[in-house]
Amino acid sequence: MAHPQPDTIDPLHLQVSELFYSIQGESTFAGYPCAFIRLAGCNLRCSYCDARYTYEEPFRPLQLNEIINFTEKYPAALVQITGGEPLIQQGTYPLLEKLLLAGRLVLLETNGSISLKDVPDDVVKIMDFKCPGSGMSEKMHVANLKMLSPADELKFVISSRGDYEWAVNCLYDHIPDVNNPVHIKNRVKVLFSPVTGALDQSELAQWILDDGLLVRLQLQLHTILWPAKTRGF
Ligand code: SF4
């Protein structure tokens, strides 16, 4: 096994960290059965990263068909491609196309630093737009904010009051009608999620209530279901 490099250009193979079947723990799809494809390698190094094994541990090179075969074991499940950062691998794009052609509901979790312009429209993009507490906010591809549709999700992972205020300002700068309830179905879904161990979830909930902010508080369902697990979700 080899260690993942972020410059994979072979479109027929992917560097895979793990494949697993579980309950979707995040996003507005939380609670649904989901086949997860966790790809290896990441171009960022967030301060709170809980998936370091995707770029520090060996990966498995797999052909696209081997990955598709895995998803076919769970024909009704959602399929989520996550990482690491999936968009650093060229093979991610044909994989997305193949999954859509097979009639799957495909979610793509991406870290906000790489343009979404070549991601197929029918893929549900879940973009984790990095706040300053991550140490990676300067790496964000800001133009992505305009590429998200009402079917997509924009997530802010928040570690402090400073991150919260940064995220609120970002929203008002780029989605001016974010707090207009009439438009909530016509804009990207917005999620605020606390960094475990850094920000109390009830404190974040109170800030959202105090500001009357039309964002969705996201807690991690999988950490409630399986508190001792550290990977495979
Ligand atoms: S983008 Fe995700 S996988 Fe990459 S360093 Fe940040 S938290 Fe970790």
The parent domain of residue 33 ranges over 13-225
Atom of ligand 1 nearest to the CA of 84: 3
Ligand 1 pocket residue status of 17, Cβ below 6 Å = no
With cut-offs at 50, 70 and 90, classify the pLDDT of residue 3.
low
- At 64-98, the pLDDT tens digits run 999 999 999 999 999 999 999 999 999 999 999 99
75 to 23, 47, 88, 105: CA distances (angstroms): 15, 36, 27, 10
CA of 85 relative to ligand 1 center, distance in Å:
7
With cut-offs at 50, 70 and 90, classify the pLDDT of residue 4.
low
For range 149-170, the mean pLDDT: 98
Ligand 1 pocket residue status of 133, Cβ below 6 Å = no
Q: Which residues fall within 8 angstroms of residue 206, CB to CB, at 6 or more apart?
A: none
Domain-embedded: residue 189: yes
pLDDT of 10 over the 80 cut: no
What pLDDT is attached to residue 221?
Answer: 84
For range 182-195, the mean pLDDT: 95
Domain-embedded: residue 231: no
40, 127, 36: which is closest to 79 by C-alpha?
36
pLDDT of 63 over the 70 cut: yes
Domain-embedded: residue 81: yes
Top mutation candidate among 26, 44, 114 for ligand 1, by most atoms within 8 Å of CB: 44
CATH number of the domain enclosing 177: 3.20.20.70
Ligand 1 pocket residue status of 144, Cβ below 6 Å = no
Measured between alpha carbons, how far is 146 from 172 in angstroms, rounded to an integer? 13
Domain-embedded: residue 196: yes
Domain-embedded: residue 3: no
- At 194-227, the pLDDT tens digits run 998 899 999 999 999 999 999 999 998 888 888 8
What pLDDT is attached to residue 233?
Answer: 60
What pLDDT is attached to residue 83?
Answer: 96
Closest residue by CA, ligand 1 atom 6: 46
Would you give the distance in Å from CA 20 to the centre of its chain?
A: 16
What pLDDT is attached to residue 116?
Answer: 98
Question: Could you give the number of structural domains in the chain?
Answer: 1
Domain-embedded: residue 232: no
What pLDDT is attached to residue 227?
Answer: 82
What pLDDT is attached to residue 25?
Answer: 92
Domain-embedded: residue 121: yes
Domain-embedded: residue 5: no
Whole-number mean pLDDT of the chain?
93
- What percent of the chain stands above pLDDT 90? 86
pLDDT of 155 over the 50 cut: yes
Closest residue by CA, ligand 1 atom 5: 45
Report whether 156 contacts 129 (CB < 8 A). yes
Closest residue by CA, ligand 1 atom 3: 84
Top mutation candidate among 42, 47, 50, 137 for ligand 1, by most atoms within 8 Å of CB: 42
**Count of residues in the chain:** 233
pLDDT of 2 over the 60 cut: no
Model pTM score = 0.93
